[in-house]
Amino acid sequence: MLWFSVRHFFRACALSLWSIAFAYPVSAQEVAMADKPDLEAPDVIVSATKTEMPAKQVTSAVEVITGEELQQRKIRTVTEALRWASGLAVFQSGGLGTTVGVRMRGGTPQQTLVLIDGAIVNSATDGSYDFANLTSDNIERIEILRGSQSMLWGSDAMGGVINITTKRGRDKPNVSAFAEYGSFNTIREGGSLSGKKGPIDFSGSIARLDTAGFSAINYRRGAAERDGYHNWQGSVRLGADLPKDGRLEFSFRWLEGIVNFDGFAFNPVTFASDPADVFGARSKSTQYVFAGNYAQPITAWWLQKLTMSRATENLVSDGGAVERNLVTGAGGPIGFPFRSKIGTTSNRVEWQHNFQVGKPLILTAGYQYREQKGSNTDLLTQTATFTDKILSSHAGFGEAQLNLWDRVFGTAGIRQDEYNVVGSATTYRVTGGYLHRETDTKLRGSYSTGFRAPTINELFFPGFGNPNLQPEKSQALDAAIEQTLPDDRGSISVGYFWTRYRNLILSVFDPTECTGPGSFGFCAQNVGLARAEGLEVSTKLKLFRDRPWIKNLDLQIQYTYAATRDISSGSDTRLPRWPLHQISTVISYQPVESLRANLEGRYVGERFGNVGNSFATPSFVVWNLSASYDVTKSVQAYLRLDNMFNEKYEEILFFGTPIRSIFGGVRINYDLPL
């Protein structure tokens, strides 16, 4: 009854907002000359409403990591950046290049939608996006939008959205290059070219990373083999300013990663899977991401934007030949050999229209077509596990955005998705906020629903897939208070979230339903129920400015409390790999203009490996330090010290993490005389 009342309350609020908007008198001249906010890149949020909006007007839980922050803190990969964000659980199964899972607000990696320049990059077969090969090169910003976002973004956005944007060429043409060397025989180098000339802007980069690495299974458990990693990455963003405020853009990103990995060996005495050193196991992933965007005002009050994208991945994996059980010490041929080739393609076409109805109201309407295609081949037998399975959908969405006196803000929207295999899904979202401009205090809240369509594996994989699956669904509520400090000295945010997941797809033993060849009575079914609630606290402070030997001193602290519960069977246990507490802090110190240092700390609480809450992984605290010095205006030298206190920890049980390690490099930048 409580949530029934809440739902009707938000519907009543939405109707009230609509009635106020249409009662607001606006003349045609006021519409044409409506004041536009002075938008600067770090202060603009796009993913929350699919329109540019000043951060102070956003009524959703969102965090932005800029490319400048990535460069200042010497962050190499997007995974490293996300580890310090609020509301996320980010864990990796070994060193660089091994699988990375990113979860939001009690969700799974499959419930986090990831976009690169508008292209959906979640795997068509697995449903999640593996951040293992995505480096920080040529990234302008990362927007992290938390909470159920299916109303605007569709499937996979039950937990939230991570929207990654490639750098745009600005100002004078500039060329830069860097070279880095460090622990584990790690070599990293790359170069970039960016700038703007007349109406044309360009940004491009290429980078390479090689490391001998360390054992994917923790060496402290007896693993001896080093698991290396090799990465190539290239990206391009080309844009043109068109007449009458039009804009045409093309983006391309290429990722190639080759990594060695470890696994598990069957123990015939305990009938358990023990961690094992696996020799010869490796995978090669090749990804291409294409995106094109065309935006053009039709009138002074009507803007249309067309987005077309494609993301492909070719993943070839070899399970190796020999394994050594680290519990029994027994070695021999791998127990379950495999060689596979997985090919996926994800296409997206979206046509969006924004209508400015006077000063207070923007109406958005759009259509999206999404197609996912997947194939899986067993290279040992040279037979197809499945070929060119397709999951496609048509969707329409509409949203209203209200802004009254730059104090009262609200959005209300609805979306309908129709799938070729799994039927339909209807989602909606309502948000509201109030900004007390005299004290810079903002109150915001939202209620939304979400869904995730079954993946190709869940539908069609032999012995597991179930073509009768329905979408997973969610309901989510959040509320927060945000305070901006006087004189732009920082901000403090405290928020509460609550999410209920239902129809979750789990592997279930049911001999009456799971009768396919090779199923052994197990298959995918919609039987899971889960709940997550908690707190997200963020503090960003500019402590000192322009003092003797303290040009800048900044402090950032993020705290996440996530109480997750599996309520499928009444066991009321915590969800896998979700810690109850996480804290991260970043202290940035700049004594003089040319010198900067960053101290980063991260605490992650205990978490479990399954819904039965066994296989506990202990809590840990890890600290990193980075420093850079501008030798000249064009040359910078830098150092980075990871795990500076040599913490012995695991992000995922049995898998290795780096010992104390140090990296040093040089970066050069030159403006071209063009």
Other CB atoms within 10 A of residue 375 CB? 19
pLDDT of residue 6: 35
Mean pLDDT (whole number) for 481-492: 92
Q: Which two tokens stand for residue 439?
A: 């004290």
**Could you give phi then psi for residue 535, rounded to 5 degrees?**
-125, 145
Q: What is the pLDDT of residues 597-655, one digit of tens each?
A: 999 999 999 999 888 888 899 999 999 999 999 999 999 999 999 999 999 999 999 99
Distance spanning both ends of the chain, measured CA to CA: 67
Residue 393 CA, distance from chain mean position: 22
In this predicted structure, the answer to whether residue 60 has a pLDDT above a threshold of 50 is yes
Beta carbons of 146 and 476 less than 8 angstroms apart: no
Cα separation, 337 vs 315, in Å, equals 17
In this predicted structure, the answer to whether residue 351 has a pLDDT above a threshold of 50 is yes
Mean pLDDT (whole number) for 422-445: 94
pLDDT of residue 42: 54
Q: How confident is the model at residue 1 (pLDDT cuts 50, 70, 90)?
A: very low
Beta carbons of 44 and 55 less than 8 angstroms apart: yes
pLDDT of residue 25: 37
Q: How confident is the model at residue 433 (pLDDT cuts 50, 70, 90)?
A: very high
pLDDT of residue 513: 77
Percentage of the chain exceeding pLDDT 90:
77
Other CB atoms within 10 A of residue 400 CB? 20
Mean pLDDT (whole number) for 393-411: 94
Helix (H, G, I), strand (E, B) or coil at 110: helix
Mean pLDDT (whole number) for 274-303: 94
Percentage of the chain exceeding pLDDT 70:
93
pLDDT of residue 519: 66
pLDDT of residue 237: 97
In this predicted structure, the answer to whether residue 186 has a pLDDT above a threshold of 50 is yes
In this predicted structure, the answer to whether residue 405 has a pLDDT above a threshold of 80 is yes
How high is the mean pLDDT of the chain?
90
Mean pLDDT (whole number) for 132-152: 95
Q: What is the pLDDT of residues 98-136, one digit of tens each?
A: 999 999 999 999 999 999 999 999 999 999 999 999 999
Mean pLDDT (whole number) for 51-75: 92
Q: How confident is the model at residue 9 (pLDDT cuts 50, 70, 90)?
A: very low
Most confidently predicted of 234-238, 517-521, 606-610: 234-238
Long-range contact set of residues 21-26: C-beta below 8 Å, sequence gap at least 24: 21/357, 21/358, 21/360, 21/361, 21/400, 21/402, 22/357, 22/361, 24/358, 24/359, 24/360, 24/361, 24/404, 26/358, 26/359, 26/360
Model pTM score: 0.91
pLDDT of residue 194: 95
Q: Which two tokens stand for residue 378?
A: 């067993």
Domains in the chain, CATH or no CATH each: 2-671 (2.40.170.20)
For 177-191, 561-575, 630-644, 652-666, which range has the lowest pLDDT when averaged over its residues? 561-575
In this predicted structure, the answer to whether residue 441 has a pLDDT above a threshold of 90 is yes
Q: Which residues neighbour 9 within 8 Å (Cβ) at sequence distance 6 or greater?
A: none
